[in-house]
Amino acid sequence: MTINLKFKSLIGAALLGGMSSFAALSVEDDKIFAPEATAAETSLSSYRDMPVLKEAFIDTAPTDRKDGILVGELGIDGGNKAIIVKLAQEIADNKHGSYDSLLIAHKGKLLFESYYSRGRINLPHYQASATKSYTSLALGRAIQLGYLTMADLDNPLASFLKDLDPTKFVDGAEKITLHQALTMTTGIRISNEKRKEFEKNPGQLKGQGEIQTYLEQSAPITAESQSFKYGTGPRLVMQVIDAVVPGSAKDFIKNELLDKMGITNYHWRTAVSGLPEAGWRVSMTSRDMLKWGTLAINKGKWQGEQLVPAAFIARATSKIAQSKHDENFADIPGVTGTAYGYFWWQADLSIGNKSYLSKAARGGGGQYIIVIDELDLVVVVTANHRNNDTSALTATRILPAFIQNLMPTISEISDNQDKLPVLEGPYIGQKPPGLTPEVFAPSLASTEHRDWGGSFSPDMKEYYFGRRNNTSGQSTSVVFKSKNNRWHETVLGPKENGFISPDGKIMHVGKQYRKRTNEGWSELKSLGSAFEDIRIMRLTASAKGTYVFDEATSDGNGVLRYSRLLNGKREAPRPLSKEINTGKWTAHPFIAPDESYIIWDSENDGGYGDSDMYISFRQRDGSWGDATNFGDKINTEGEDGGGYVTPDGKYLFFCRRCSPPDFEIMWVDAQIIENLRPKP
């Protein structure tokens, strides 16, 4: 296929001098516009009846169409032009399947736009299951407007659908929650024979009769059946939207989402129930798909207006349900950790030793909206035949073009991957320090951004910490994991990280916690009412289950508390002794697994700086000894704190110069603790 390649100047074309199969035209010499469908073509009964383009259209400086999408120029506003255009030519040459479009936005601007085969800029493309992601965001809009709450996600579906008769449900159906519908874990199991029977009597599926029929005709709902099964939730969710919003779900979606985002050229079919289809049969233009991705990456905001709660976006695009039978996406190069949120897919896209969490609307036939928060990147793909290498192409061919300091040309990418440092051995492959503190994992865990916290799993094969981008202000949770003695970095998204308990089963995040499951970490849960009124920054636990935690106050007079586990019951929090609760800004405690000492930081008279690190050792009578300053090897004139010891007991980690932008994660041989321990 020949290519129309539009550059803003012929200088851009010179970057690709070796490619002679297409002509590069400057805007000043000639104007080339994206292909548009004619009126006759837009009325065709099937998208597949569209004639194939004679020339692929590739635009590295997309036109501003006054459609609410900001535009820029690839290479000038970000990205490597040579890498992306090389990929585009391969797509035009059908080396990657039957693509119809590829669009890339970076830092809020559309930098690359291309159309192939049946793709047209003004023609809505069938979305297949990408529709599910739009349904999810429609529910989020209902929450934003107060028709539902985030707490309602854990309520039974039947509580919203008043026309249902629960007395006729199969066992367990009355307990199915909105959360389970959104994660495809309803447990509903209906045989193909029964579905065919439904088709013979479509009248029973009108309105909420559709859900009544499902919940009557399903096999009994059990804990075993409530595993991930694709397709069991979208229509349930659309029924809830229709039940709680004023008017109809159809009008609500149009007025409160599509119109607000300027999406007017679309097709959204009606299901047999009379409600909008929830899982498929929607068509969108590629540019409008980009708007959905922009809404997701902007945490629910569109042009400054909060359309969907940020908390809902975070949950919808996080790893909640594990897909164990996602065969179509198995064994794809550079793609691991596939999971499911609220009708959004997640996967870790790897390049070299680093992984980036991707969040995607995915539709059969090759429809994708891929969002990568860490790179501020949105990739849109449409296709007219199943193209399951899109995730791999994003990982191996698109990510390198937007990763700073990676090799500048596509021909060098494979060589560059071979030259990336291999992280082997314990502690992310770092050389351990002695009794003089050193920066931990420079450029990896200690970067130019604000990296804080930190917690190793008991087997020392996972290292979690938080990172705040000093440019964007965005905070993410990051993990390094060791597999086959090699470490790989993954950005987990906006999740909050915390301290892992000595048994590795719990991650404590302030006054909440996550449980480790077979699929990863659970959603946050509350520690209980006894902790609700305390603003906890850090909570660590001993092997016996004793909690030690701080209290954030505006005046710096918060105290450290503890709570023991006695005969299987959690006691009410109590302040630690005056030996520990001295000075101001007392915070960030760490209790040794064997409860032999507590480390914390505080501002005290006679200290070295703003905040110093202290330690108190358990006395023979069970009381706590006097606070001991760690001394000038640890403490400086600035803020030093956040100390903890690795689960293997070998190294003390802490933060030096804890006020941004000067922020460093330090580590030192834990022998420094033994040197302070009182002699018998």
Instruction: Please report, for the domain that includes residue 210, its CATH number.
Output: 3.40.710.10
Q: Identify whether the C-beta of residue 239 lies closer than 8 Å to the C-beta of residue 275.
A: yes
* 459 within a domain of the structure (yes/no): no
Sign of the dihedral defined by the CA atoms of residues 307, 496, 240, 324, in that order: positive
Beta strands in 151-281 (DSSP E): 267-268
* 53 within a domain of the structure (yes/no): yes
pTM of the model: 0.66
Please tell me whether residues 571 and 644 are part of one structural domain. yes
pLDDT confidence bin for 416, thresholds 50/70/90: very low
Please tell me whether residues 264 and 409 are part of one structural domain. no
* 173 within a domain of the structure (yes/no): yes
Please tell me whether residues 505 and 650 are part of one structural domain. yes
Beta strands in 341-485 (DSSP E): 345-351, 354-363, 367-372, 377-383, 438-439, 450-456, 462-468, 475-483
Q: Which of 380, 364, 362 is nearest to 287 (CA)?
A: 380
Write down which residue in 268, 284, 304 finishes a domain: 268
pLDDT higher than 80, residue 22: no
Please tell me whether residues 518 and 615 are part of one structural domain. yes
Per-residue pLDDT, averaged over 546-551, amounts to: 97
Residue found under tokens 């694709």: 230
Please tell me whether residues 66 and 175 are part of one structural domain. no
Please tell me whether residues 258 and 323 are part of one structural domain. no
Can you tell me the distance from the alpha carbon of 315 to that of 328, in angstroms, rounded to the nearest whole number? 24
Please tell me whether residues 340 and 363 are part of one structural domain. yes
Please tell me whether residues 538 and 660 are part of one structural domain. yes
Write down which residue in 393, 416, 439 finishes a domain: 416
Can you tell me the distance from the alpha carbon of 357 to that of 491, in angstroms, rounded to the nearest whole number? 5
pLDDT higher than 70, residue 11: no
Q: Strand 305-306 and strand 321-322: pairing?
A: unpaired
Please tell me whether residues 120 and 136 are part of one structural domain. no
User: Residue 577 is part of which domain span?
Assistant: 499-676
Per-residue pLDDT, averaged over 69-82, amounts to: 92
Provide the pLDDT for residue 495: 67
* 488 within a domain of the structure (yes/no): no
CATH assignment of the domain containing 517:
2.120.10.30
Can you tell me the distance from the alpha carbon of 170 to that of 173, in angstroms, rounded to the nearest whole number? 6
Coil, strand or helix at 291: helix
Provide the pLDDT for residue 245: 98
Write down which residue in 383, 398, 416 finishes a domain: 416
φ/ψ of 194, rounded to 5, equals -65, -35
Of 43-52, 301-310, 410-419, the poorest mean pLDDT is in 410-419
Can you tell me the distance from the alpha carbon of 56 to that of 620, in angstroms, rounded to the nearest whole number? 79
Provide the pLDDT for residue 334: 81
Paired residues of 486 in beta bridges: 424, 483
Provide the pLDDT for residue 5: 59
**What's the number of domains the chain is made of?**
3
Please tell me whether residues 113 and 251 are part of one structural domain. no
* pLDDT digits 0-9 by tens, 90-122: 999 888 888 999 999 999 999 999 999 999 999
Provide the pLDDT for residue 606: 86
Please tell me whether residues 512 and 624 are part of one structural domain. yes
Q: Identify whether the C-beta of residue 506 lies closer than 8 Å to the C-beta of residue 515.
A: yes
* 140 within a domain of the structure (yes/no): yes
Please tell me whether residues 177 and 66 are part of one structural domain. no
Of 322-331, 345-354, 524-533, the poorest mean pLDDT is in 322-331
φ/ψ of 238, rounded to 5, equals -65, -35
End-to-end CA distance of the chain: 83
Can you tell me the distance from the alpha carbon of 337 to that of 670, in angstroms, rounded to the nearest whole number? 35
Provide the pLDDT for residue 410: 38
* 427 within a domain of the structure (yes/no): no
Q: Which of 153, 95, 143 is nearest to 244 (CA)?
A: 143
Counting every residue written for the chain, the total comes to 680
Can you tell me the distance from the alpha carbon of 486 to that of 461, in angstroms, rounded to the nearest whole number? 10
Q: Identify whether the C-beta of residue 309 lies closer than 8 Å to the C-beta of residue 150.
A: yes
Amino acid at 87: L
* 288 within a domain of the structure (yes/no): no
